Structure 1
Amino acid sequence: MEENRWVATFCGSIPLDELYESMLRQNHMKKGLLLWVGIWLLALMLAAEISARDTAASLPHARVVWLQDIDDGKDVFARGDRLRLMGWDSLDGKGERPILQSHGPYRRPLMTSDGTAVVFSVGNAESVQVVGWRGGVPRTIGAGVAIDVWKDFRTGKQWVYVAQDPKPSDSVNERFGRIVRIAIDDPGVVELVWDRSIVGIENFQLSRDGKQASGTFPWPQVGIAQVAQQRFDGYGKGCWASLSPDNSAVLAFFDGMHRNWWMRSASHESPWKVNIALAPGIDGHEVYHPRWSNHPLYLVLTGPYRHQVGPNAILGGGRQVEVYLGKFSKDLTKVESWVRITHNEKGDFYPDAWIEHGERFDLDVTAIGAKGAQKSPIAEGLERRSIEATLMEMSGIPDPKDILPYRNALAVYRYALRSEDRDAFQHAEILVAHWVIRDGKKLSGYPRVPGRVYRMTIEDMALHPEWESERLIRDMDAWDLPLYVEVSE
């Protein structure tokens, strides 16, 4: 019937056949729109892939090895048996691939000095093994945990440095009683390297001549060991020390935020700080497993760590954690470029990188290091200032036993400034670090009350590099806000 040609809509009444034709036109338009969106997204993905390939193509020949957690992505410290040994070669076009097909309780993979093989450990210091870069059957060379591979360029012999004699530890940082070295091609040759003190393994890393090594002796004491003299030169508190792989003896180590590397050099009168957490995809979140490659301008690390567990985000791990390869500027003051090595939905940990001809590059020690004091642009004239500000956000305060062996901790709070203070600080909000744990005890007055106005005296945190190695709890992002520390008496 004629009336059946009509349907009522809230826009009025239209014939059914016209509505049908209109729906067909709309359907075609939707399909066209979806097709256009699909093409646009594909173009973006291809552009990103081409960009990544171009960035990788700009590298010298590079190989990276790491451990992949095929379970829940939380085995950050490689204590389980659901780990796969993985590799990536910048030239073979295969992307990330397993070196061994089976998973297992693998530990700390290391590239050999010539880039042709991988040394790794199994279980709780059960064995150290070596396997070819393309896989195959691993060969056992000794017992312990492999912590570095070093080549004696005078003799051509390659050595694996191995931590042995594990000691009890009250933290995730392992402690060992001695370090030996084992000849890769002649495992019967074993030499004592260090037994002067308890030593950690994150990272024991040798200079090119083998005379010096970075490390924790033990954690959180970082510094350089003079191997032949069995002497340790301490530089402060921190973790994940790393040593430039030439003979310039530049020591790098984590600050308490797990975002910056402090660097020290005998040729430079003061230390300088390098942010190593700004790779696209990490975007200022915590990073972990930083390690210098065999080339002084390249480092590897993992991140981002975004799941807060206890005093930091490292313990949370996660499937979003990827491996990154970064290149320093020649003065070692910044990471000027990054290559994201992994793209997957699994946790990737403990990377090590080999760069072709890395052993031929030497840092210019006269050119390295930051020029001038470590101050923010607005630190001048604001070294100490009393303010009133409204508390907006707080970081959590861990139990003192959760930060051992650290005995002191600062927690970062976010405050809104009064209008009359904003011009001086060039921000409407600032971050302030407060001492919340001292000598292993929580301080009174914390946590504070959000929305309440607090009066305090603050200084720029950059004026206190001596506190950078203390534990700093920061649960918020807000990387564009300046960081101060309360110094009220």
Structure 2
Amino acid sequence: MKWSALFSQSGLAACLLAGILGSCSEPGPEPVIRINCGGPSLTVWGGMNWSPDTPFAKEGSPREMGFRAKDCKTDGIAKAGPQTLYTTVRGGNGFRYEFPDLPEGFYRVLLHFVDAKRGNHHRMDIWVGDVRVLRGFSPEESSMAPLVPTVSESIIKVVNGDGLVIWGDKTTGDEVFISGIEIYEAEVTTQLTPHLEPVASVPQAEIARRLRSAAGGPMRLVWTRTEHVDDPFQKKSTGELWGFDTEDDKGERPILKTLGSYARPTLTTDGSQVVYSDLRHGTCHVVSFSGGEPRKIADGYAGDVWKDPATGIEWVYVREGRRKTAGPVRRHRLDQPDVAEMIWNATESGQEFISYLQISGDGRRAAEVFPYPKAGVADLASADFTQLQRGCWPGVAPDSSERAWVFHGSHSALSLYDTPTSPVRNVPLNTIPEFPGRSVFHPRWSNDAAFLTVTAPEWQAETELYLGQFDPAFTKIGTWIRVTYNEVPDYFGDAWLARAAGGIPAEQLTREPAGPRPPPSPPLWSGLVYSWVNADQKNEVRDASGNMIRTCSLNLEGKAVWTRWFAAALRGGTFSADGPGIAAATEATSTTGATTVALSLLPTQEQAQRTVLHWEGRFRLQQRGRQLWLVGPDGASSELGSLEIGEPQHWIVALASEGTWRAWREGSPAATGTLPHDWSPRVPTPALIGGAIGVESPETWLGEIENLRLFDRAIDEPTVAALAADARERRKDRTPLPTTEVQATLISAAPPAVPAEIAPYRRSLAVCLYEIKAVQSGSLAVGDRILVLHWSVLGGKQTSPLPRPGESRLLRLEELEHHPEIDGEHTTSETDEFLPRYLDVGPLP
């Protein structure tokens, strides 16, 4: 049985049906099927009858939603059912309905949902046949409020008369459910869109055909792929650079597989090379579309590439400086990067970690933020700019028109201007058929003004790359084409059309031969089964041949953050290691009966019997006063040595299979002893907890941990020396930052983030504007205004309330530019003040 589908969704957002379904007929007066999910039959005024769902329900449990029918807000919701319909649902871990008697033909399917909870606790995937019509769907998020229905509408073709199946699974959240189902016969007079075909039925050749057809010829695309949902700007080294060429029958392919920071990849004007920025190192580079060794262009962040039609010289526009919006913009010759010209230094530009700069086709104008959030278009000759509105991701048309856009703060639409002074109009971007109503990200004009790229849905594991085509009047996106089908995050994106560049030269269609693959790196230390150096590292474990086996991670819980060195700072919280990393370590040590733990510690104060590290079923490391102790599963304990409060120190404890142990501090022997143990396999897998016995423990250790490694053997002296030397090398250049202490009064504060709305982020900072009233230390003066970042969400929970306007606080601050760990954190801000920024480094709230 096969199905194909179109669908739309109505709620408080605009109904997308007209733009998606073309000339499909309206529902007839009587449905083929109309059922009340989880409830009895209903007869509504006007003769609309709803049958019980029991003849068709195969999975899921019925239940009541717990609210009164009159409280359901159906007014103004297109195609909403009666209020009573939404008081019952069928669901749980999933639901499934089978309609085996539907004959071959087209059907219009309406699915009804409502959520009584606030906070988006429910997210679900909904399938009609083999088409996933809703993905990561939240009824409350879709309708923007609880008790407001959402109606999803699909056109389904049952191909061979085998009937229809409708089913749902939960994704994140605790439940999936549905309120009602309607199925009507439908007459379709236009060709069904192919966008929602199952992934397996969209081969790379078909994607190339669709792209070529839309572009009227050859096209190339580039983007960044990552497994890290929380790195949409590529601030960390988590990405790979990928590309697609419609002409070589290879489909999507990696251009650079080495994990790195490939921000804002941009195709050169002939499509043969890719320019990108490395945000971790503050540099920009160029690499052949065919791959190979990247070549550095300059320090700074690349915004765009432009070829001067008068001279034929191709220029790369770069904002200089690292994490500094004050850096000037210069353009560098692509072929001779040392040749550079000043382009813009009239104002600050971009955001600290990225340049949005885009050059018009004639080279006269540049879209940018000057700096964020003042979005506009600069006249490069006059060194002046027109501010369009506050926002981000501005763009200017790649032709000689003056058309420009600014991305909405909602990340769901463009504010588009035909000229900088013309009236603005709204161009929705949340019209992608697969994700109606969902926000998008990374909007980028291609080298042809009719096309743009976006990634959607915003910041999700299923984020994919899409090509959109404007209608002739630039009032809407008339066509969306999905480029990637991989269910891992695809970020950024740029498209190059041959028709807008005079065609691809024949000599550049010849692929460069792939060079020999470098041999894998050898494992660093034998017997290493778990490795977490810090949050900025790959944290990988390799096998004896040097091939990566797995990566390891730590999850911060409660009052725990990263330090400026990306160590785990426990300030009343904990960390946990779970997943395949600790599972593999547990299995390996169960086999050998031996282990070694190596870690760097920085205790912040003297503490009475607090657990530093707990490997369930193995051992505990415990601070008692100023001493470090080893504690076995039965409670037997031995002193390892003295701790230096406020100082980093590297410790190693090796436990042999015969029950003996040895300890080293900074590579020197500290203590020896015996600790009989039985490490036979356990179910479930023992947890590794930092800072307490369990993540919910009321008493936690206060300090910092990094360089955490576990071995499946008692390591020898050479390995001890190497580990200690590695720890010393990593901290050798660390110097304390000057701290500013001031008494300040809050002027304004951004609202703290709602944890459920920023997932997968579990931490967030709020930007607050203060005026200095008194200075205890530092270079600030009374009357100065500064921006301070306070933690507002920690461990997935909101912290204690932020101060109120007019309230005075004693603040302990450090300059934000010295805290690269904050680059990867979620931040809320409502200020357009361009003032010095500081991080609140006082006690966590």
- Per the normalisation by structure 1, the TM-score is 0.61
Q: 1:190-205 to 2 correspondence within 5 Å?
A: 190-200=340-350, 201=354, 203-205=356-358
Asked if 1:339 corresponds to 2:481, the answer is yes
Distance of aligned partners of 1:228 and 1:156 in 2 relative to their CA distance in 1, 3 Å threshold: same
Asked if 1:261 corresponds to 2:414, the answer is yes
Offset at residue 102 of structure 1 (A):
1.7
- Pick from 217, 221, 226 the counterpart of residue 374 of structure 2: 221
Between 1:47-56 and 1:275-284, the stretch displaced more is: 47-56
2:211 aligned partner: 56
- Pick from 458, 463, 468 the counterpart of residue 326 of structure 1: 468
- Pick from 271, 275, 279 the counterpart of residue 115 of structure 1: 271
Offset at residue 239 of structure 1 (A):
1.1
Distance in 2 of aligned mates of 1:341 and 1:441:
47
Q: In structure 1, the residue corresponding to 2:256 is in which secondary structure?
A: coil
Distance in 1 of aligned mates of 2:452 and 2:768:
27
Offset at residue 358 of structure 1 (A):
1.6
Q: In structure 2, the residue corresponding to 1:188 is in which secondary structure?
A: coil
Offset at residue 205 of structure 1 (A):
0.6
Identity %: 33
**Per-residue deviation, residues 275-323 of structure 1 (Å, max 9, x unmatched):** 1121222322010110101101000011112xxxxxxxxxxx2221111
- Pick from 89, 104, 118 the counterpart of residue 260 of structure 2: 104
Q: In structure 2, the residue corresponding to 1:286 is in which secondary structure?
A: coil
Distance of aligned partners of 1:124 and 1:405 in 2 relative to their CA distance in 1, 3 Å threshold: farther
Distance in 2 of aligned mates of 1:117 and 1:97:
14
Asked if 1:65 corresponds to 2:222, the answer is yes
* Structure 2 gap segments, 5+ residues each: 1-159, 166-196, 504-750, 755-763, 770-802, 806-828, 831-845
Offset at residue 122 of structure 1 (A):
2.3
**Per-residue deviation, residues 106-161 of structure 1 (Å, max 9, x unmatched):** 32211001101111122435432211111112122221111100110111110000
Q: 1:349-364 to 2 correspondence within 5 Å?
A: 349-359=491-501
Q: In structure 2, the residue corresponding to 1:357 is in which secondary structure?
A: helix
What is the CA RMSD across the aligned residues, in angstroms? 3.4
1:484 aligned partner: none
Distance in 2 of aligned mates of 1:189 and 1:285:
44
Distance of aligned partners of 1:53 and 1:356 in 2 relative to their CA distance in 1, 3 Å threshold: closer
Distance of aligned partners of 1:100 and 1:267 in 2 relative to their CA distance in 1, 3 Å threshold: closer
* Structure 1 gap segments, 5+ residues each: 1-35, 169-174, 306-316, 362-396, 407-439, 443-469, 472-489
Query: AA paired with 1:181?
Result: R
Instruction: Check conservation: 1:221, 1:236, Cα contact below 8 A.
Output: yes
Offset at residue 88 of structure 1 (A):
0.9
Asked if 1:297 corresponds to 2:450, the answer is yes
Offset at residue 266 of structure 1 (A):
2.6
Offset at residue 54 of structure 1 (A):
4.4
Distance of aligned partners of 1:225 and 1:87 in 2 relative to their CA distance in 1, 3 Å threshold: same
Distance in 1 of aligned mates of 2:282 and 2:327:
16
Query: AA paired with 1:61?
Result: P
Distance in 1 of aligned mates of 2:448 and 2:390:
26
Q: Which has the higher contact order (CA 8 A, sep 6+)?
A: 1
- The structure number with the bigger radius of gyration is 2
Query: AA paired with 2:437?
Result: G
Q: Which has the higher helix share?
A: 1
Instruction: Check conservation: 2:462, 2:487, Cα contact below 8 A.
Output: yes
Offset at residue 44 of structure 1 (A):
6.0
Distance in 1 of aligned mates of 2:297 and 2:498:
25
Q: 1:41-440 to 2 correspondence within 5 Å?
A: 48-49=202-203, 52=207, 54-58=209-213, 59=215, 60-69=217-226, 71-167=227-323, 175-200=325-350, 201=354, 203-266=356-419, 269-305=422-458, 317-359=459-501, 398=752
- Per the normalisation by structure 2, the TM-score is 0.36
Distance in 2 of aligned mates of 1:297 and 1:286:
21
Q: In structure 1, the residue corresponding to 2:211 is in which secondary structure?
A: helix
Q: In structure 2, the residue corresponding to 1:101 is in which secondary structure?
A: strand
Offset at residue 255 of structure 1 (A):
1.5
Distance of aligned partners of 1:124 and 1:56 in 2 relative to their CA distance in 1, 3 Å threshold: same
**Per-residue deviation, residues 395-428 of structure 1 (Å, max 9, x unmatched):** xx6459957599xxxxxxxxxxxxxxxxxxxxxx
Q: In structure 2, the residue corresponding to 1:113 is in which secondary structure?
A: coil
